[in-house]
Structure 1
Amino acid sequence: MDDRTLTDHLRRFGLSEKEVDTYLTLLEHGEAKASTVADAAGVSKRYVYSVSESLADRGLVEVRDHAVPTTIRANPPEEVVDRLRSDVEAIRPGLEERFSRTESETEQFEVVKSRATVIKRARSLIDDAESEIVLSVPEARLPELQDPLADAVGRGVFVLLVVSDVDTPRELDGPAISDGEMDAGGLRGTASVVRTWSEAMPTLLTVDSSAGIVAPPELIRGGVSDRQAIVFAQEQLAPVIVGSFLGNYWPVATERHATEPTELPASYENFRKAVFQATLHLRSGTSLVATVAGRWTDDESDAEFSGRVAGVKQGTVEPTNNEFPVQHSFEVETDEGTVSVGGQGAFIEDVEADLVRFDVE
């Protein structure tokens, strides 16, 4: 089998082109130092460490960090094949279940006429979230979603939450954020950042920028209403909803809670979460080093570099400093100069990032 065919097969298992190059280099060496793999694969040593952790999670390699210097060993191909075969068989029931369901759900939009169904759909979407949840919900309905939200936060999902229709909001360290039954302590595990607003607003939910719900306040409040909600599964629409959320509702709500910065080193595929964490660490006095993998926005060629994080532009946590609502970016000082980094769809920044890794300088 030639290299191109082997690369194509490995990429079908979710490996990026650089991950494949690194893995094939390790196969040829058996076991090697990160610097050796970096030179052979044409990537940075920091990137080799980052990719090796991902490959180790998949069972393809073993990182021997107990040795000095650290080495990376390719696992025997028969073990890898058995692992991949086992993974494929494990997802068969889920694939068959979802395929059966999608056969009857040809529509990308579902009209919902009851509050109970909206909450049911919202819980299901939140349960399936892998990367990011953006949600606005009335305080009266929040208890129905707190458990799945807490579970999402627990598995590392980035959650931005606006609790609307709040009466007499109080400070977070008070007995409650409102005169209702929800106490402030429950907010800390419910979302990455929580804001409250006294006004009624639509219930907006997007999950992983691919699916979500839009529901009018009258429907969610309960009672008799002829208003309807829309449940959608369309990647083109979800970013528009997120833009509306961040541009129209998030700025007018009052911040009540933000999580603590996570331990470093840490890697992020969700770029808003990466910028959020960078902001928290910089404000706590941490000197950050970022390793970025993505592409240059001017010519779409591969970009891989490391350097000190010089600053951020963000609108997630107060005080905000972005120049427009959806701007979330950071700057990295490299040997070649300062590079601005944005997320998916970046065009004003120098680099569109796919993967970001932060470490302490």
Structure 2
Amino acid sequence: MTGASAALAEPIVSVIIANYNAAPFIEACLRSVLASDLADIEVVLVDDLSSDEGLALARAIAATDPRLRVIARDTNGGPAAVRNQALAQARGHWVAIVDSDDLVHPRRFTTLVAAGEASGAAIVADDQLVFDDGVASPPRRFLKPADRTEPIRLDLDSYLNRAVLYGPEPDPGFLKPLIRRDRLMSARVLYDETLRIAEDTDFAIRLLLAGLDYLVVPEPLYFYRKHGRSISHRLSLAAVEAMRAADRALSARVMSAYPALAKRCRARARALDRVAALERLIAALKQRRPIAAAAELVRNPAVIPLLRMPIMGLAGKLRGSAPPATLSPADQFKHLLADADAA
């Protein structure tokens, strides 16, 4: 099926992409999505009032491929609001979430749709290759080795157990699922627009609470880019407080429906409390208020293990080690494809 005919029919997959100042990455992202071996897709990109040339780059690609629709917002609403707007425009049987700075394997949508149809699951995701932007170091698998041998089912209990901020398990909120659109519409679940970080985790928990089942296949067909601009790697006290407020409301719903999951909810709340304490501690240190920082440590000694993250980051800068070998975007994508096919 050609791109033009695919755009006219009801697509199998609607790929939704929230874009905000992702000009260095958006072209590669879109080209990897449009190169899918499943031609019967549409791509709905919503730009969140970017100040760079990313919107123009997306529009230039849309002019050559009618499967891509570009929508420009006139206000900045954050990733949750942008995804909700894209979801309202989606027409496919499945909705796929892709971030504007990431890449996908050409086989990804075919593989996940086949897995979803065969299993009957309403939500399907895959393992990821996590790579550092432009760096020639080997990518890392996201899932633990024990979860890479066969598909795993995530129910509400197992998802909550894993979705603990800075916890011991890979947080499934980082996975980018395909969701059956009819089930999504029936569930009437949208992204929480008060969240600018961790909106994916909150969204998935509410889908599971609504009865949708979740399958994760072990193939690493999603390529997750790590770089300094990423919103998901920039916490702030305001963002953490929004996460805590949303989690309190969501945990109340979970515990009301499933009292046995109260332990899981409390563990997630404690993790968010520790991160909030860490952000208060860092703010006090930046403001040169050592007494306030020390008091925060006394009140919240559980924050001490988390201090290794900013300390290790600062130590890396102070060491001044030689910069790593770099790769061009095209070469990096080729390496990722080879690593995924060899996995």
TM-score interval for Structure 1 and Structure 2 normalised by the shorter chain: under 0.3
TM-score by length of 1: 0.25
Which has the higher relative contact order, 1 or 2, with Cα contacts under 8 A spaced 6 or more apart? 2
Q: Which has the higher helix share?
A: 2
**Greater C-alpha radius of gyration:** 1
TM-score, normalised via structure 2 length: 0.26
